Amino acid sequence: MSLLSCKNLTFTYRRKRVIEALDIDLEAGFFYAILGPNGCGKTTLIDLLAGHLSPDSGSVSLQGRELSRFSRRELARKIALVPQFYNINFPYTAAEIVMMGRYPHLSRFAAIDAGEKERVKAVMQATDIVSLGPRPVTELSGGERQRVVFARALVQDTPILFLDEATANLDINHTLKLLGLVKRNVKEKKQTVVAVFQDLNLAAACCDRFILLHQGRVVVQGELDKVLHPEPIAKVFGVEAKVYEDPCFGRKQIIFKHP
């Protein structure tokens, strides 16, 4: 049985069909990339799979149970999300924001014990934000805030993690460190990660399986060798590309022909 699946999924936004008759099955323990041009429905798909939006028709199921039958608290124990944009106007500290990732696992009036604090500390160390801990999140740069939100999702410790262009505001050093943490969780904890990427080469370096979207439909999905070919890249992105095996990393990479 698939961990997370959608069947005949459709969604309309402002009279425009954004997702059209879409079928996807996601298995546990893989790092998935969702790729496609701007406006093709990537973020909408993430929001539907995470239960933040309800489809016009079709269904999204987690372990065979439709998402609509889960409470918000149940879903928060199963699914974490690092959104593309995160706005907060109240000056919570960075440490408080990260601690919020543990709330779905705590009873309503439970005190935050030493074990929970250690969990948060370990993730903050791993994501290189310990020094940001006492600072109000409203005073952080965009990249610093993104790392804090990333840490909150990691400490949530869910079977499924969604990343919606989660490293777009980060320098390459922090991008590689955070994606490295995610890859380790996929391997060691069998976490399922679904990430929206704009950078095809970064996706190719990190991910196991790929979903190419175009105009709300899946063009092709599967493993790296099946998906990242010049033909589907040309169809989806409208560019000529050469795909080659990088000798340093043993992964396929892509060179694009400039117009």
CB contact at 8 A, 6 and 59: yes
Spatial distance between the Cα atoms of 227 and 161, rounded to a whole number of angstroms: 22
Number of domains composing the chain: 1
Mean pLDDT across 234-258: 87
pLDDT for residue 98:
96
pLDDT > 80? residue 249: no
- Average pLDDT over every residue of 132-156: 95
Q: Look at residue 194 and give its three-state secondary structure.
A: strand
Please compute the mean of the pLDDT values over residues 31-46 and round it to a whole number. 95
Each residue's pLDDT tens digit, 75-91: 999 999 999 888 888 89
Contact residues for 239 (Cβ-Cβ < 8 A; gap 6+): 233, 256, 257
Q: What integer best gives the mean pLDDT of the chain?
A: 92
Q: How confident is the model at residue 1 (pLDDT cuts 50, 70, 90)?
A: low
Q: Helix, strand, or coil here: 210?
A: strand
* CA proximity to 166, closest of 114, 131, 127: 127
- Model-level pTM? 0.94
What per-residue confidence (pLDDT) applies to 110? 67
Q: For residue range 168-217, what is the model confidence (pLDDT) as tens digits? A: 889 999 999 999 999 999 999 999 999 999 999 999 999 999 999 999 99
pLDDT at 104 over 80: yes
What's the pLDDT score for residue 138?
93
pLDDT of residue 192: 97
Alpha-helical segments (H) within the chain? 42-49, 72-78, 94-99, 114-126, 142-155, 172-189, 200-206, 224-227, 230-237
Q: Which CATH number covers residue 95?
A: 3.40.50.300
The answer to whether 180 and 186 have CB atoms below 8 angstroms apart is no
Specify whether the CB–CB gap between 83 and 153 falls below 8 A: no
Predicted local confidence at residue 190, as pLDDT: 94
C-alpha to C-alpha distances, 204 to 25, 99, 189, 239, nearest whole angstrom:
20, 32, 21, 17
- Where in the sequence is the domain holding 168, given as residue range(s)? 4-256
